[in-house]
Structure 1
């Protein structure tokens, strides 16, 4: 057991739980309880939201598992995915930030329900897609949390997973988006400090010039810089497309737009996050990854690749700093996990329970259901995470791809195309979701290429059906226009 590292991580986790208790009391005494729980009162400033957005995207997969993924799948794979994510912030700022923030809705489901006139299929299907897609995404984050907990406690991965899952669920179920926002601010700051510290230490410990060190790494691992060496070029394109569209529709990222104090702040937050995320990913890839070759074949063989960045950091730092780094990586994991848990609970409690099953449900009833659902979903995902697939990044990119295939066309066309109607949205969502699942489960396709089939099919279906069926109502068109002009 790494006593000092464990103590630092425990202090951080206890702080998160106490913050959840504090925000729960604040929400209980607030007249705007639902808005506070799911949208943090819609009053989060640009700086805070920028850090929270960075934390929501910069997950355990990005900052913890990135180095090992690059070593196994090559620089080009992660480069295409990262550039896609960077582009995605700008795409979201242009296409969806203003109308989503001006809509005064709380969730992706609620926005789509209003856009398509309360269509029953949309009401039911959208939350189900969010539950399934976010559940897949959660598996990757819980795996990362289990690995970190195992690292600092010396317990098995399974026990580490159980411990960290309970803590994740506890503070999210208590405090909702308000707790998530404030912890995300801390988590975003910790991630910046964490990557900066490791990169500076790596530069100070370079055995030779950086250029020569990179060449040595490619000699030790010839596939490192070869395009198409491990994943076909189509897989790179699929990863780029997935993340370029993800910020527009992925619920735990979109929810940050709803929390912004206004649409200008939402747009600015997206672009600031884009800049910081891009810099952190670039420097960590170029400077940290070459040190993996120095770990030795036995170390690499006996440790999961998602843990290799921690092992590199151990070469530079003692127990105190490693405790802080472990807490920082835990923060990266928690930053996505908490937002995803909240997205799933809102899909069940707010969109399904209040939106479909019991429209007359009170605020207290909705929050109670959300509390229970957070625990149920968290425990179910934890059980699936006991034997997860390899490569965190590939797993959660597939989860995001499923949601992009389902939601991108109904959401974006619904905002910008007046002829988009409920029948078209139903067709686009259904064809996108089903074709992605068929491609993913029924065929052995290269990583992330399913989106290249599902997204175009979704667009064709929605465009065709909307074109040949009745136009959307004048009321819906006027409502969308008001979101653009406010």
Structure 2
């Protein structure tokens, strides 16, 4: 398998599962790549004094250049280096904030002075109710298993030993990054209380609490986080367009293998450039706060892919009809609840959407024929 949809086709043998998955990937990735482009441009704007548009053009050019030239190998290698930079930069930023704020107790006191709600579980806004916050354990923890660009990186493991070692290393690194960056962002309100844009908080804090030369080095940490996400999404999106849609449904059936071997790399290059250009144009008018756009796209991907991926690997009775029912019901429910801002029981839209998708998957799979024995043997299922 080269793409996630390759795996879904091998497991479910359903054209509509692949088509729906491909369309969802492309639409969601455009939204999330816009977020990454905006983040990179904001960082360069804050750190260098360039205008937002100049920072956007510089960032987009760098990412497109190495992704187009290097492909998947470049993405894997840069992700490893960027992960190291992110980890070191997070530690340096958190240490700098604690030193600049005269320790954690003083920072907490400063937050209380600004607004006592800032040190409460719900925060300063009215949106973060307890059910809504608990929903984020699903949205940014459990459901991440269903993100195609995260699952795609697992294709790069050398062997099972590397996979198991990666699970341990990844857990530790992710915990340190999440704890460090979230704590830095929360405490940073005491250091920079008058920040006009929340998306500028990380680079502004680095410029404020670190020596200039050190800030210049560690500004690569958030930049690395952005680049390591967007390059994988560009690769996945272009592969989806070319391999999952063009080769399977649009290319002439009698086209010779020699022509395909020449045409496919050119199409992949063209798709990457077109997608990057579209995202660049969309990022020219950024929203006030990019995190909600990012989470919206993440939820849509999870509503479509989580159960087909997980149950396809671990439930032998799963079939194409069940997968399709789960994907359709999940994305429709998520779209309706998100569009109208409905919070059932105060929960984020992803929770009822995944619940409905799971029920639809199980019920439809049990009411329709089981998958072929050849499919079960391929996935080592009895």
Structure 1, 157-166 or 411-420: larger mean CA deviation? 157-166
- Alpha-carbon distance between aligned partners in 2 of 1:279 and 1:149, rounded to the nearest angstrom: 25
Cα distance per residue 1:407-440 (max 9 Å; x no partner): 1111211112221111111111111112111221
Checking the alignment, whether the CA contact within 8 Å between 1:124 and 1:356 is kept in structure 2 is: no
Partner residue, 2:32: 137
Checking the alignment, whether the CA contact within 8 Å between 1:405 and 1:432 is kept in structure 2 is: yes
Change in Cα spacing, 1:267 to 1:224, as seen in structure 2 (3 Å) is: farther
- Alpha-carbon distance between aligned partners in 2 of 1:280 and 1:386, rounded to the nearest angstrom: 29
Structure 1, 120-129 or 279-288: larger mean CA deviation? 279-288
- SS of equivalent residue, structure 2 residue 9: helix
Change in Cα spacing, 1:325 to 1:448, as seen in structure 2 (3 Å) is: farther
Spell out the pairing of 1:28-39 with structure 2 (5 A cutoff): none
RMSD: 2.3
Partner residue, 1:253: 150
- Alpha-carbon distance between aligned partners in 1 of 2:198 and 2:184, rounded to the nearest angstrom: 17
Does residue 227 of the first structure (1) align with residue 121 of the second (2)?
Answer: yes
Matched residues, number = 373
Partner residue, 1:294: 191
Partner residue, 1:56: none
Partner residue, 1:52: none
Spell out the pairing of 1:82-101 with structure 2 (5 A cutoff): none
Does residue 451 of the first structure (1) align with residue 347 of the second (2)?
Answer: no
Change in Cα spacing, 1:285 to 1:432, as seen in structure 2 (3 Å) is: closer
Partner residue, 1:467: 366
- SS of equivalent residue, structure 2 residue 352: helix
Structure 1, 371-380 or 241-250: larger mean CA deviation? 241-250
- Alpha-carbon distance between aligned partners in 2 of 1:448 and 1:160, rounded to the nearest angstrom: 37
Change in Cα spacing, 1:149 to 1:352, as seen in structure 2 (3 Å) is: same
Change in Cα spacing, 1:137 to 1:438, as seen in structure 2 (3 Å) is: same
Cα distance per residue 1:132-173 (max 9 Å; x no partner): 122221121111011122224433212321231122112111
Does residue 478 of the first structure (1) align with residue 371 of the second (2)?
Answer: no
Spell out the pairing of 1:179-194 with structure 2 (5 A cutoff): 179-194=74-89
- SS of equivalent residue, structure 2 residue 141: helix
Change in Cα spacing, 1:270 to 1:387, as seen in structure 2 (3 Å) is: farther
Partner residue, 1:157: 52
Checking the alignment, whether the CA contact within 8 Å between 2:317 and 2:371 is kept in structure 1 is: yes
- SS of equivalent residue, structure 2 residue 288: coil
Does residue 315 of the first structure (1) align with residue 211 of the second (2)?
Answer: no
Deviation at 1:287, TM superposition (A): 5.1
- SS of equivalent residue, structure 1 residue 315: helix
- Alpha-carbon distance between aligned partners in 1 of 2:152 and 2:122, rounded to the nearest angstrom: 35
Deviation at 1:221, TM superposition (A): 2.7
Partner residue, 2:11: 115
Checking the alignment, whether the CA contact within 8 Å between 1:245 and 1:404 is kept in structure 2 is: no
- Alpha-carbon distance between aligned partners in 1 of 2:185 and 2:329, rounded to the nearest angstrom: 41
- SS of equivalent residue, structure 2 residue 87: helix
Deviation at 1:296, TM superposition (A): 4.2
Spell out the pairing of 1:333-372 with structure 2 (5 A cutoff): 333-358=226-251, 362-372=260-270
Change in Cα spacing, 1:339 to 1:203, as seen in structure 2 (3 Å) is: same
- SS of equivalent residue, structure 1 residue 354: helix
- SS of equivalent residue, structure 1 residue 472: coil
Does residue 326 of the first structure (1) align with residue 232 of the second (2)?
Answer: no
Checking the alignment, whether the CA contact within 8 Å between 1:121 and 1:426 is kept in structure 2 is: yes
Cα distance per residue 1:222-272 (max 9 Å; x no partner): 222323343222321222112223442212211211000113322321331
Change in Cα spacing, 1:271 to 1:111, as seen in structure 2 (3 Å) is: same
Partner residue, 1:283: 180
**Structure 1 residues without counterparts, runs of 5 or longer:** 1-104
- Alpha-carbon distance between aligned partners in 2 of 1:244 and 1:326, rounded to the nearest angstrom: 26
Checking the alignment, whether the CA contact within 8 Å between 2:86 and 2:221 is kept in structure 1 is: yes
* Aligned counterpart in structure 2 of residue 241 of structure 1, from 134, 138, 141: 138
- Alpha-carbon distance between aligned partners in 1 of 2:329 and 2:185, rounded to the nearest angstrom: 41
Cα distance per residue 1:310-338 (max 9 Å; x no partner): 22222233332222122332222111111
Cα distance per residue 1:42-94 (max 9 Å; x no partner): xxxxxxxxxxxxxxxxxxxxxxxxxxxxxxxxxxxxxxxxxxxxxxxxxxxxx
Checking the alignment, whether the CA contact within 8 Å between 2:207 and 2:215 is kept in structure 1 is: yes
- Alpha-carbon distance between aligned partners in 2 of 1:395 and 1:191, rounded to the nearest angstrom: 23
Deviation at 1:444, TM superposition (A): 5.1
Cα distance per residue 1:348-370 (max 9 Å; x no partner): 11211223323766333222111
| TM, length-normalised to structure 1 | 0.72
Cα distance per residue 1:93-142 (max 9 Å; x no partner): xxxxxxxxxxxx1211100000012x111221111111112222112111
**Structure 2 residues without counterparts, runs of 5 or longer:** none
Checking the alignment, whether the CA contact within 8 Å between 1:397 and 1:448 is kept in structure 2 is: no
Partner residue, 1:373: 271
Partner residue, 1:28: none
| TM, length-normalised to structure 2 | 0.90
